[in-house]
Amino acid sequence: MGLLDGLRSVLGIRAETDARRDADPEDLFGMSTAYLTMEADLGYESLDAGALCFAGVDSSGFRDTVDDVEAILEAGREETETDFSISEDDHGYHWVVLEDTDPEDLITSLHFAADTFIEQGYGSRLLAAVFGYENRDGPAYWIYSFRRGAYYPFAPRDGRERDSSAEFKLESVLDGELEIEREKEYWYPLWPSAGGRHPWE
């Protein structure tokens, strides 16, 4: 199974079939307190960045929805100073990438973007929301799977290795604060494109 097929299977088709409950963009607000725990209890600093991963579809209605998301974020940029960009990775998936030093504004903007897709009938195209952190050992991400309605940790290291001990520690500390995916087979790695540093690059 190739990387693209694996991502589609775990975050997409198979996850949708095996979904435990409907995804709820309100779950994203769980990060409002989780980022404090990440800093105070685990020594992780926010990367001041987050992203929404979605699969495109060739239709005018979907393109209009993406335009609406961009318009909403553009309108909010003046008030919150949340920078954003929309891009496509090497695997053919699309990303709304947001940057803001205020985690609350970052989370709210991600919620607005996700909610717009859902309200306009394209919630099934949403794959994941990604929140980035880093400590002296390296980066760590909380990934929210829209198809599973749950979070899981991802701690990538050089050579496309994962720091499993870091991921299990994140799980144990944030369990109860976030709705965590219990089935480890759905803890799918979101490796960056060639030359990228973060999953959305």
The closest of 158, 100, 91 to 127, measured between CA atoms, is: 91
Check whether 89 has a pLDDT greater than 90: no
- Check residue 82 and report its DSSP letter: -
The closest of 31, 96, 88, 43 to 69, measured between CA atoms, is: 96
**What single-letter amino acid sits at 155?**
A
Q: pLDDT band for 91, please (50, 70, 90 cuts).
A: confident
Contacts of 35 (CB under 8 A, 6+ apart): 46, 103, 131, 133
CATH number for the domain running over 3-186: 3.30.70
The closest of 186, 36, 200 to 129, measured between CA atoms, is: 200
Q: Given this model, what pLDDT does residue 8 score?
A: 47
Question: How crowded is residue 86: how many other Cβ atoms within 10 Å of its Cβ?
Answer: 16
Residue of 137 and 19 predicted with greater confidence: 137
Check whether 87 has a pLDDT greater than 70: yes
Check whether 182 has a pLDDT greater than 60: yes
Location of structure tokens 């990060």? 31
Q: Given this model, what pLDDT does residue 5 score?
A: 45
Question: pLDDT averaged over the chain?
Answer: 87
d(Cα 89, Cα 43) in Å, to the nearest integer? 30
Distant-in-sequence contacts of 191-196, Cβ < 8 A, 24+ apart: 191/3, 191/156, 191/160, 192/89, 193/89, 193/90, 193/91, 194/90, 196/89
Average pLDDT for 126-143: 95
Burial of 26 (0-12, 13-18, 19+ CB in 10 A): exposed
d(Cα 66, Cα 84) in Å, to the nearest integer? 13
| Residue spans per domain, the chain | 3-186
The lowest-confidence range among 10-14, 92-96, 127-131, 178-182 is 10-14
Q: pLDDT band for 3, please (50, 70, 90 cuts).
A: very low
Q: Given this model, what pLDDT does residue 52 score?
A: 95
Which helix H or strand E contains 122, and what residues bound it? none
d(Cα 82, Cα 102) in Å, to the nearest integer? 9
- The tens digit of pLDDT for each residue in 6-26 reads 454 445 445 444 544 556 788
Q: pLDDT band for 136, please (50, 70, 90 cuts).
A: very high
DSSP string, 20-61: SS---GGGGGGHHHHHHHHHHHH-PEEEEEEEEEE---SSHH
Q: Given this model, what pLDDT does residue 23 score?
A: 60
Q: Given this model, what pLDDT does residue 80 score?
A: 83
